[in-house]
Structure 1
Amino acid sequence: MDMDVAIIGAGAAGIGAARRLKGSKLKVMMLEAAPRIGGRAWTLDIAGIPVDMGCAWLHSASRNVWTGLAEKAGVKIDRRESAWRTQHRDLGFTKAEQEAARQSFEDFTQRLIDTPPASDIAADALKPGDEWNNSIRTKVGYISGGVLEDMSAQDYAAYETAATDENWRLPGGYGTLITSHLPTETSLRLSTPVNAISLRGNGVTLETLSGTLRARAVILTVSTAILARGAIKLPASMQLWQEAAAQLPLGRDEKVVLEVVGNSPFEPETHVMGNPHDLLSASYNIRSMGLPLIECYLGNDSAAIVSEQGPAAAFAHVIDGLANLFGTDVRRCLRPLITSSWTRTTHIQGSYSYARPGQASARQRLALPFEDRIFFAGEATSPLDYTTAHGAHDSGSRAAEETLTALAKLAA
């Protein structure tokens, strides 16, 4: 055997698995298709400013494993309440309208929890004729990247019930924190996509562009989009796992980052949303942690601008949105920096997972081990904390625990 355990994917789930296997005396190798680790946790250094292009918030922070790891490592945490629920200076959105929109969204969420539609279609929980239905759709787009007609009400409600309102930030970057926790003893191969996995004898064979590798067990942490389209060929008897992945598609969420230059009306720690009735509106996180940046969140319809029209169109779109609220003169204060492109990233192909109607149980099905040799992890396998980096980490730890148990049985 080349190794005891192969971990495919070096994102938060893979790192969580590697952390659990640390000290086990097993030979562990991590194979990552990209030329970097972190997956959807990616902090870029732009002119000395850490910019998170993927996950950026410690959601459910007090019970988030990364919070404890940050504290243990002495990493600074910004615990201030986010400005998401506010509209700076009530620009384009009166206080009465904000309250009405907020109440409609809360009522919608509560209906999903208390009286879920029999169809399990999240859109069926919308109140017919509610003038804020587009606002609800847009907010769900930021949260899950999906279309309500294609989303399980049960699955959406499960996350909302488990989540807390504690959302903290890491000035040094969430991606930086996550990648810093890959154990140094884990052997790592970057730019090494796995093309096929098969069972051979008492182990697992991995086909890569660099050659064939053998392991006693494998922990598979790649995205559901990769699994569903068969980018990694699995044994024919694993069709049920591939079908489960197909019921957990990745949504469309992108981030467009602008730099604020010169004198501007943009005050630190503020937030605005574009036209709340427009499905293409962005959510603007302005100068968070005092940085001279505006993070523009695009979900579903608006995120498609990045993948279908490209960065230039996305920059123009978000700048137009800010100019509509703050006045056209702000254009001189805004400099395009960078956009994410998760939907078009070959080895990921989307943002976070959501379950299709009637398919909330697909998360548990995807998490089941196969023949005690192939184990699954990733945010999509978390029943309550999907879409999060802590859900991904904990799923990796769970898969590693299953792997240790299985290998111990074989050795007995």
Structure 2
Amino acid sequence: MDVVVVGAGAAGIAAARRLARTRLSVQLIEAATRIGGRAWTCNIAGLPLDLGCEWLHSADRNPWTRLAKAAGFAIDRRDPAWGSQYRDLGFTQAEQAAAHQAFADWTEHLQSSPPRSDCAADAMEPGGAWNAFIAAMCGFISGAAPDRFSAKDFAAYDKASTDNNWRAPSGYGALIAASLPRPIDLRLSTPITSIELDRAGLVMATPYGSIRARTAILTLSTAALSADAIKLPPGLDAWRRAAASLPLGRNEKVFLEILGDSPFESETHALGDPRDPHTGSYYIRPLGRPVIECFFGGEGSKILEAGPAAGFEHAADQLAALFGSGIRRFLRPLVATCWSRTTHIGGAYSYALPGHAAARADLARPFEQRLFFAGEATRTIDFSTAHGAYASGVRAAEEAIAALAKGRT
């Protein structure tokens, strides 16, 4: 093969789409039994639920928005309900204003006068009344507490993002999966165990035999790349170190089905406890569907380590504290995620450790013009997003195309 793309998530699919416009021979291999990676729309109880990425962030410049239109996918452009608390339950309007202002002040501080330590937590006001709220938001956005990630890295994302966050009612994961170019030589359930270089290119070992290629694009998660699951060629230690400096955050979802004539109103939102950095975020009847989407980030997602039942119970407890204990009879566990324990992925999306924002550019560098790297973690902006993954896949594909063209001249 001219190019083998390893990983059929958003980055791998984007790379395959770009390569499909050439005459190169291309193969796409995926360790899992499905395509999409951290984008996964699962049909449960007749509902298309996004267990992974869901919102088209920066949708006005997001390439998936254009692809959705071309493929006939509807887009819901309503503003999300995140910024409000349903009926001000447990969070008065004055408190909401103060908390959101504290978060805005913190992000402005990261931009205008970042801490010398590059630790995002050091930009917080010592003893600030809403520091727990800021930490909760960081858990949702980055999957980690602010003392874990780079101020410079977070500020770069915040500066580049827009306020347009839209949805594909049929599912973001469904949109990404439907964007796979056809025909394509796709192999599912084919994990790579080692990569070796030779004069002709490279050899990738799988449980079903070896695959030879002139070049390869690796779209592995940073958790997979920094682990020892794949034996890499000598000389790639710098790439492993870069991946280790960009760990995956922790984010999980729990869906509760709404039964009967409940008091829950469509397209509303509530934080379980805005004063708790581990709180859940509850999106009620998204798109009018009879579910509550419960989102846990950072340390708060650890509640699911004890199993999905613990997540269901915790979500129900927080909702009952807001709406009253009687609401429990309207709720039934539906599904929960476990991204941190998902083989070949190992978490949600990447954040940079303090002092390591430059690791994203390091991870994106080609190796000997034969191995190319893509994935959301390789983006200096738009990381942690499916559109960041898309852009990285296109970039890596173009690098491989240029390298192959040069080799033929």
Q: TM-score range by the shorter chain?
A: over 0.9
- In the TM superposition, what are the counterparts of 1:345-384 in structure 2 within 5 Å? 345-384=342-381
CA distance in 2, matches of 1:301, 1:263: 34
Deviation, structure 1 residue 23:
2.5
CA distance in 1, matches of 2:126, 2:67: 45
Deviation, structure 1 residue 146:
1.1
Deviation, structure 1 residue 280:
2.2
Q: Provide the residue aligned with 1:46 in structure 2.
A: 44
1:399 corresponds, among 396, 401, 406, to 396
Deviation, structure 1 residue 231:
1.6
1:300 corresponds, among 290, 298, 301, to 298
Which amino acid is 1:164 matched to? T
CA distance in 1, matches of 2:17, 2:131: 43
Counterpart contact for 2:144–2:299, Cα < 8 Å: no
Q: Provide the residue aligned with 2:284 in structure 1.
A: 286
Segments of 4+ moved more than 3 angstroms: none
Deviation, structure 1 residue 166:
0.3
Q: Provide the residue aligned with 1:175 in structure 2.
A: 173
CA distance in 2, matches of 1:217, 1:147: 38
Q: Deviations over 1:115-145 (max 9, x none)?
A: 1001100010010011110110011000010
Which amino acid is 2:262 matched to? S
Alignment TM-score, normalising by the size of structure 1: 0.98
Identity percentage over the alignment?
57
| Partner SS for 1:82 | coil
Deviation, structure 1 residue 377:
0.1
| Partner SS for 1:236 | coil
Q: Deviations over 1:265-304 (max 9, x none)?
A: 1100100001111122100011111111111010011101
Q: Provide the residue aligned with 2:67 in structure 1.
A: 69
Which amino acid is 1:321 matched to? Q
Say whether residues 1:315 and 2:334 are aligned partners. no
Say whether residues 1:141 and 2:139 are aligned partners. yes
CA distance in 1, matches of 2:149, 2:157: 13
Unaligned stretches of 5+ in structure 1?
A: none
Q: Provide the residue aligned with 2:107 in structure 1.
A: 109
- In the TM superposition, what are the counterparts of 1:256-275 in structure 2 within 5 Å? 256-275=254-273
1:330 corresponds, among 327, 330, 333, to 327
Q: Deviations over 1:149-184 (max 9, x none)?
A: 121000000000000010001110000000001111
Q: Provide the residue aligned with 1:214 in structure 2.
A: 212
2:200 corresponds, among 197, 202, 205, to 202
CA distance in 2, matches of 1:278, 1:261: 28
Deviation, structure 1 residue 201:
1.1
Which amino acid is 1:175 matched to? G
Deviation, structure 1 residue 147:
2.1
Which amino acid is 1:360 matched to? A
| Partner SS for 1:353 | coil
Q: Deviations over 1:32-80 (max 9, x none)?
A: 1100000000000112210000000000000000000111112110000
Q: Deviations over 1:19-41 (max 9, x none)?
A: 00013111111111100000000
Alignment TM-score, normalising by the size of structure 2: 0.99
Q: Provide the residue aligned with 1:59 in structure 2.
A: 57
Unaligned stretches of 5+ in structure 2?
A: none
| Partner SS for 2:293 | strand
